Amino acid sequence: MTLEWLHTHEIALWWIGILSVVALLGTLIMIPILAIRIPEDYFTRKKRKPYRFREQHPVIRFVGLGLKNFLGILFVLLGLAMLVLPGQGVITILIGIMMLNFPGKFALERRIVRQPSVLRVINWMRAKANKPALQASKRDLKGRGGSS
């Protein structure tokens, strides 16, 4: 029964395998590029910078936001898959969340970066690219109130 099912779905299994390899290679290339583009003070800023396309024509702004959110959802889904498959799942999820627009996003991003292993990996990528480490206050890393 199992061999029959495999032969029946052989083409679909090949496509799933090819897409998995492409996703893995794509994230191995894209995640470091996106991680080094995060401004070093991103997680310690008091005020967020305005959206870059805010002054553009409404159609361009809408298409830009739609594409950015689509890519964010894609990265989150790929990251979730990488929690059980090879790849950098949590960091991929973080990058995806950073691309999305939703209430409470910044607090969720900080919660993920508070994990010492996540911050360590991102800063390792940044060091390889000669970029300064991400700034994170002691409060952010401990998850408690207090001064930074």
pLDDT at 148: 35
Give me the residue spans of the domains in the chain: 19-142
Residues ≥6 apart with Cβ < 8 Å to 120: none
pLDDT at 52: 66
Mean pLDDT on 129-146: 66
Helices (runs of H) and strands (runs of E) counted in the chain: 7, 0
pLDDT higher than threshold 70 for residue 145 = no
Closest C-alpha to 144, from 120, 121, 110: 110
**Tens digit of pLDDT for each residue in 16-29?**
888 878 877 877 88
Mean pLDDT on 137-148: 46
**Tens digit of pLDDT for each residue in 90-137?**
888 998 998 898 998 888 988 888 888 889 989 999 999 999 998 876
CB 129 within 8 Å of CB 32 = yes
pLDDT at 66: 92
Please give the structure tokens belonging to residue 121.
């990996």
pTM of the model: 0.70
